[in-house]
Structure 1
Amino acid sequence: RIRAEAKRLSGRAPGAPRPMSPGEMAALAYPDRVGLRRRGAAPRFVLSGGKGAVLDEADPLAGQRLIVALDLDGDAREAKVRLAAPLSEAELRAVHGAAIAWSDICEWSRRESRVTARRQERFGALALDDRSWPDPPPETVARAMLEGVRALGLPWSDAARRFRARVELLRAEGAELPDFSDAGLMAGLEDWLLPHLGGVRSAEELKRFDLMPALTARLDWEARQSVDRLAPPAFETPLGRKIPIDYGAEAPGIELRLQELFGVTEHPTVGPNRLPLRITLLSPAGRPVQVTMDLPGFWATSYADVRKDMRGRYPRHPWPEDPTAAAPTLRAKRRS
């Protein structure tokens, strides 16, 4: 019956069938077992279905570029080939030409720590030809670079960290602002970071990337004004100096000379709920002498002890009995 059916079908064919090699017939029977030899001395192959396979080094096919694995030992990681047929690239194209196509591949390479762009002619998991892709679209490169950001983390500068902390302080106080936490930022990379990643293709370039424009762009004009008003980047002293506010600690804080706050009777605050700043008061030599979150209370209590101790150490600097009525200063008395 089989012979009769074969004769009937061959009679319907337009011409005599082309004779096939054992490798071609095997490739038709097992399209997922076509193997391409990996680089290196060992006869290791990647199969078109995506699995790995290895031949015995003494096998006559060990030096073959393409094979079809007919019998495998079933190892899930890298199966041993017990029987195989040789296959040329021309034979593979003859039987599976319609399944061979060029693909543009732009991806993050962990090994090279950069975005790589290749053009590959592929049959399943096999790259029959691999060439450099010199001009991938910027959008494609930026999307691949996002994987690098996920692997390496965001390149935080001091300015970006301070801005993030200011926004997060206001969010903790109840303000309706975008999520600037690590988890929130990483979850939304495609929305806020992708449009700003143009030209960044490697770990080294990412280190030099300025996050600030991308972070500030997450806020509209009104939200940025609110952040600057309620969580300002600096505290302006009575002398007009701007002291950066550190928002990274448990409480926002500043450090400045004690004499520069003479005459200040209201404790500085930030945020909609008037969170008091943690003030580190410094001696004329720049050493901490007191930390307070209640400046009026410090003037009324602890200042007298600080004055008694500091007058002897720094006699050329003012230590008035009533600091709330004195003028702020950074000057020392002239030597007589």
Structure 2
Amino acid sequence: MLPALPDLPVRAALPEITATLAGAGSAVLVAPPGTGKTTLVPLALAPELPGKVIVAEPRRLAARAAAARMAALLGEDLGRTVGYAVRGDARTSAATRIEVVTSGLLLRRFVADPELPGTAAVVLDECHERHLDADLLLALLLDARDGLRPDLRLLATSATVRTRRLAELLGGQDPAPVLDVPARTFPVTVRHLPPLRGERIEVCVARAVRTALDEGDGDVLTFLPGVAEIRRTTIALSGLDADVVPLHGRLPAAEQDRALRPGPRRRVVLATAVAESSLTVPGVRAVVDAGLARVPRTDHRRGLAGLVTVRVSAAVAEQRAGRAGREAPGRVLRCWPKGELLAPEPDPEIRTADLTRLALDLACWGTPDGAGLRWWDAPPEAPLQAGRAVLHALGALSGDGAAAGVTDRGRRMAELGLHPRLARALLDGAAEVGGRAAAEVVALLDDDTLAAGVEVESELRRLRSGSAPGAGRWRAEARRLQRLVDVRGDGDDPAFVTALAHPERLARRRSAGSRRYLMAGGTAVELPPGTALDGQEWLAVAVADRTPGADHGRVRLAAAADRELAVRAAPALVTEADEVAWVRGDQAGVVARHVRRLGAIVLDEHRIADPPPDALRAALLDGLRTEGLGLLRWSDGAGRLRDRLATLHRVLGPPWPDVSDEALLADPDRWFGAITSARGRADLSRVDAGAILRGLLGWREAAALDELAPERLTVPSGSRVALDYSGERPVLAVKVQEVFGWAGAPAVAGGRLPVLLHLLSPAGRPAAVTADLASFWTTGYPQVRAELRGRYPKHAWPEDPRTAPPTVSARGRGRPGR
């Protein structure tokens, strides 16, 4: 029998919800935060079903809070009818009928045992947030309902009305019923208070908080992107006549509970995205929104994955604002300019996050490529392949594609509930340095918000002392991880364990005195100045993120390493090979060497005196493709020959060859024999490009070249004038007097391409341009004559140039020669 439930909007809809789920087997419930969907619905379902109701929450904080609220409504202690389970913490018993868990924990549990014995229904709360674990859990639950568990009831809840796709997924051929419970909300006024020029977001938020407190009553709920911003905002609010209370998922349970209870005086709750939904913060009358969120992003080109700060979507901004109007009229201050365009919805994590862990779960499920599953958004193929490649390197997968299978080691890694990289570090690190030492490092790497500095060893010392923020949380997680491996040992090598997690992030300094490093994966990173790692030759990088606008990453957490440790931690990355390559820069040319590498990092090298011909050819071609055929010797004659051949190819086509860089480099077999003796840049500069071009011609083309594209033309004065083939049409630049008597302009390419005449004054300056000489004599020449005969009176300017004798100079008219 249900206890007396609070009068929340969902309460009146409970009979319809339970009846719909019983009849259809699945349904979508749309209800804004604060309406009771997270707590009242499971309490109503449990008495009607023959088994347990599992509620999947996207965050640990929400799971604990929801379970505590339901237990309080029943008047019971946690762990009896209502319990919870999150990573490292659980309160359940044999009497538990409602269990609230995180999506990730339920996913681990479900992959290990797809039948979910004893479970009658799963409530997927806050599906609209589109977390990676939640999206995968939904796809696997639907797959299980199609086979193993057709009786399993699924209820998906969302705070948005955009649920058509979700209903289609749940219902299969017929969309699942959608139940809409409207919220009773109060009016909310929205104002924008953007940062002043040069003002940090924390300072702007603190200014907005003070404004919100001055303008009305009630508590203030503030949204910030992360823990660091919460700390800095707390400092900026020092001296405030109100309690400043942090709220984020990394806080101890007691501090989280404090933020969810009314206080003795006004409060300012500084929260991350955990307060957007699933949780109700009582007493809130004002919301201050920084307008930022921290989301996972993976840079596959650089091999960097982590959290980045982005502007929130319009949907998230609206949901945050709604928190101000749950109990009374409210006000919202947004710390960004009014009119700024926001994305309609947040990106689903499956499109942006590292998919290595998802790839392992899919392999354990028996569908390595995810084919056949009903996805809200299917995982992108390239990131999924990248994740599988990592799993192969870790020994978690064998085979490839649809035939890839999870190994026993892979299943063990999946059971640990860690990212596969960290699972590998824990398993292999424990074998080398002992379970405790490995667990302590992994606990730090799994929660890098614990780190206040850059150096892993100093951060571990700080946490071990117990005085650092989060030390208790870190110690509890390290003990939990240690119990999972239970390997005795007395080693302590944080760099080695870090390198096991991220072998491709082993990094070597570029040069003495530099803070720039090259990681084994090929990405450059820079060490912040003034750290204990200054001067280290080698680093085991744990965390590196992207530097906006820079061509390198930034080291956020790393340990001092050395060459021996790097080779020991990443033997699979060590390769030896002969390398013959074209190097760029001031000393560009072919370098032939035998190289031993750790990924992209050169360990040892020595020169090869006689490189293999095929490798040398490939390197020379790479140089020519990179820097162009200008590396060869282009005399004036070679350049003119290229222009003539290019003109004939354009006008007549084959067999006249295409002599552009692109065409020549696309088919080097036609001409590379002319440079087989070259071994470097200097040799290429001595190769006659003209000889290469002539070698492309057959004997017929070689014989016809001067006829079809002559280098010079004989004009009426007897001069042989050079033709310029560099443009679209060949150009003949000649003095006007030398072409008297010419009835029409000449043509090349067998008469198909008229020559463009650039007619010059006696001083060699342009006087006219024409391709129609007959027309020019009639219409253009009289004007030229009028303009120039006064300036050049010693030269001939006949009235009828078509019948006048040509001349080279003012004297000796008609005398040929130049």
1:164-205 deviation digits (Å, cap 9, x = unpaired): 3333333333432333345434x5263345434443633x77
Correspondent of 2:512 among 40, 51, 59: 40
Correspondent of 1:281 among 759, 774, 789: 759
Which SS does the other structure have where 2:625 is aligned?
A: helix
Correspondent of 1:144 among 615, 619, 635: 619
- 5+ residue gaps, structure 2: 1-490, 547-552, 813-818
Find out whether 1:179 has 2:658 as its counterpart.
yes
Instruction: Measure the CA separation in 2 of the matches of 1:47 and 1:332.
Output: 75
Instruction: Measure the CA separation in 1 of the matches of 2:758 and 2:563.
Output: 78
- In structure 2, relative to structure 1, the CA distance for the partners of 1:196 and 1:30 (3 Å cut) is farther
Which SS does the other structure have where 1:178 is aligned?
A: coil
User: Matched residues, percent identical?
Assistant: 34
Instruction: Measure the CA separation in 1 of the matches of 2:770 and 2:505.
Output: 74
How many aligned residue pairs are there? 308
More helix by share: 2
- Tell me by how many angstroms 1:45 deviates: 6.5
Instruction: Measure the CA separation in 2 of the matches of 1:323 and 1:55.
Output: 79
When the two structures are superposed, what TM-score results if normalisation uses the length of structure 1? 0.67
Instruction: Measure the CA separation in 1 of the matches of 2:601 and 2:588.
Output: 24
- In structure 2, relative to structure 1, the CA distance for the partners of 1:80 and 1:116 (3 Å cut) is farther
Aligned partner of 1:243 in structure 2 is: 721
- Tell me by how many angstroms 1:316 deviates: 3.5
Correspondent of 2:694 among 200, 216, 220: 216
Aligned partner of 1:233 in structure 2 is: 711
Aligned partner of 1:120 in structure 2 is: 595
Which SS does the other structure have where 2:673 is aligned?
A: helix
Correspondent of 1:263 among 704, 726, 741: 741
Across the aligned residues of Structure 1 and Structure 2, the Cα RMSD in angstroms comes to 4.6
Aligned partner of 1:72 in structure 2 is: 542
Instruction: Measure the CA separation in 1 of the matches of 2:786 and 2:545.
Output: 82
- Tell me by how many angstroms 1:301 deviates: 4.6
- Larger Cα Rg: Structure 1 or Structure 2? 2
Aligned partner of 2:643 in structure 1 is: 165
Structure 2 letter corresponding to 1:199: A
- Tell me by how many angstroms 1:220 deviates: 1.9
Instruction: Measure the CA separation in 1 of the matches of 2:752 and 2:745.
Output: 10
Aligned partner of 1:188 in structure 2 is: 666
1:12-64 deviation digits (Å, cap 9, x = unpaired): xxxxxxxxx999x98xx7895695743424687766665678999977x9888
Contact kept in structure 2, 1:53 and 1:80, CA below 8 Å: no
Instruction: Measure the CA separation in 2 of the matches of 1:200 and 1:45.
Output: 32
Q: Is 134-143 or 164-173 further displaced after alignment?
A: 134-143
Which SS does the other structure have where 2:620 is aligned?
A: helix
Structure 2 letter corresponding to 1:40: A
Structure 2 letter corresponding to 1:130: E
Instruction: Measure the CA separation in 2 of the matches of 1:295 and 1:262.
Output: 10
Aligned partner of 2:584 in structure 1 is: 109
When the two structures are superposed, what TM-score results if normalisation uses the length of structure 2? 0.32
- In structure 2, relative to structure 1, the CA distance for the partners of 1:30 and 1:125 (3 Å cut) is farther
- Tell me by how many angstroms 1:88 deviates: 4.1
